[in-house]
């Protein structure tokens, strides 16, 4: 596995600190650097400057944005494992920079919370032509394509599902809260419902691929009416209507485009 390699981690937020600790646990010689004087994880060495950190065989970046990362990049870096979150275009631009400067480059995203780093529960999605052994210290590496921007695209796609689900859950908690129902009372039903909804995704994906939206289950017309009722009930109960109203308006556009008798999957035609 190459555990005698030296690795530097740039960025000591919660995630960066977890990455550094996982590398120590995996037997690496770890140096850390951060713009502020955050405490360094145990058994790591603190670099006074980024240039000092670049002396390591591998540099792992986990910074807040690409705008923070970009000024730090230099051809003094031998191998860059980029775990900074951003857009696919930012990842591709960094890959181009690495190629032009003779820097070995791996682009990845972390699908885990800091407490999961170093366990099999952590998925590290990476893209590009090659893996790097340090990824194995963080969790389970999953290759998602040769395009360097693909990991970032997967990241944002998956997070979009998460944010939408969380938004819907919080809307539901707020709505039921107006009637005195507690989250503890409601959440088990929500979890069961979401698990059931997850089983429908493969079929929905097939529909979007083949553009066959015929249905005998739940036509878009019914769902537009339901979203209108949800928005109205939210308004009547005195809570915000942004989430249901946005979905209503999106679904209604698909309805207006002739998909009223089709399945919910037909909404993708508007999104596309």
Between CA 206 and CA 210, with CA 209 as vertex, the angle to 5 degrees is 85
Q: Alpha-carbon distance 162 to 172, whole Å? A: 15
pLDDT at 130 over 90: no
The pLDDT-based confidence of 129 (bands split at 50, 70, 90) is confident
The pLDDT-based confidence of 144 (bands split at 50, 70, 90) is very high
pLDDT at 83 over 50: yes
pLDDT at 243 over 80: yes
Q: Alpha-carbon distance 252 to 234, whole Å? A: 18
Looking at residue 116, what DSSP letter applies?
G
Mean pLDDT, to the nearest integer, of 147-157? 97
Q: Alpha-carbon distance 13 to 190, whole Å? A: 32
User: What per-residue confidence (pLDDT) applies to 2?
Assistant: 46
Instruction: Give the chain's domains with CATH numbers.
Output: 6-147 (3.40.50.720), 154-271 (1.10.1040.10)
Mean pLDDT, to the nearest integer, of 125-138? 90
| Rg for the chain, CA atoms, rounded | 23
Instruction: Kindly list the distances between the CA atom of residue 4 and the CA atoms of 7, 15, 24, 244, in Å, as whole numbers in the listed order.
Output: 9, 23, 11, 54
Average confidence score pLDDT of the chain: 96
pLDDT at 1 over 50: no
Per residue in 163-214, pLDDT (tens digit) is 999 999 999 999 999 999 999 999 999 999 999 999 999 999 999 999 999 9
Mean pLDDT, to the nearest integer, of 97-112? 96
User: What per-residue confidence (pLDDT) applies to 4?
Assistant: 52
All residues at 6 or more sequence positions from 176 whose CB lies less than 8 Å from its CB, including other chains? 185, 186
């Amino acid at each position: 596995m190459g555990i005698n390699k030296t690795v530097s981690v740039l960025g000591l937020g919660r995630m960066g600190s977890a990455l550094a600790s996982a590398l120590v646990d995996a037997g690496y010689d770890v140096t850390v650097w951060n713009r502020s004087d955050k405490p360094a994880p145990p058994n790591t060495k603190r670099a006074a400057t980024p240039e000092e950190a670049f002396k390591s065989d591998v540099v792992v970046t986990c910074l807040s944005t690409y705008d923070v990362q970009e000024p730090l990049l230099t051809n003094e870096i031998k191998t860059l494992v980029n775990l900074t979150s951003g857009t696919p275009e930012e990842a591709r631009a960094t890959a181009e920079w690495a190629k032009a400067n003779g820097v070995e480059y791996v682009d990845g995203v972390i699908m885990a919370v800091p407490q999961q780093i170093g366990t099999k529960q952590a998925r590290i999605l990476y893209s590009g032509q090659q893996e790097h052994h340090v990824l194995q210290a963080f969790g389970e590496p999953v290759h998602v394509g040769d395009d360097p921007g693909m990991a970032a695209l997967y990241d944002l796609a998956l997070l979009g599902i998460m944010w939408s689900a969380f938004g819907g859950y919080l809307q539901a908690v707020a709505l039921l809260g107006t009637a005195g129902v507690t989250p503890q009372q409601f959440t088990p039903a929500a979890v069961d419902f979401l698990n059931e909804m997850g089983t429908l995704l493969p079929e929905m994906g097939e529909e979007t691929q083949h553009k066959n939206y015929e249905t005998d289950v739940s036509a878009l017309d019914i769902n537009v009416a339901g979203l209108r009722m949800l928005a109205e009930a939210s308004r009547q109960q005195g809570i915000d209507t942004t989430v249901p109203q946005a979905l209503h308006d999106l679904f209604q556009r698909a309805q207006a485009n002739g998909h009223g008798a089709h399945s919910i999957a037909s909404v993708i035609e508007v999104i596309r």
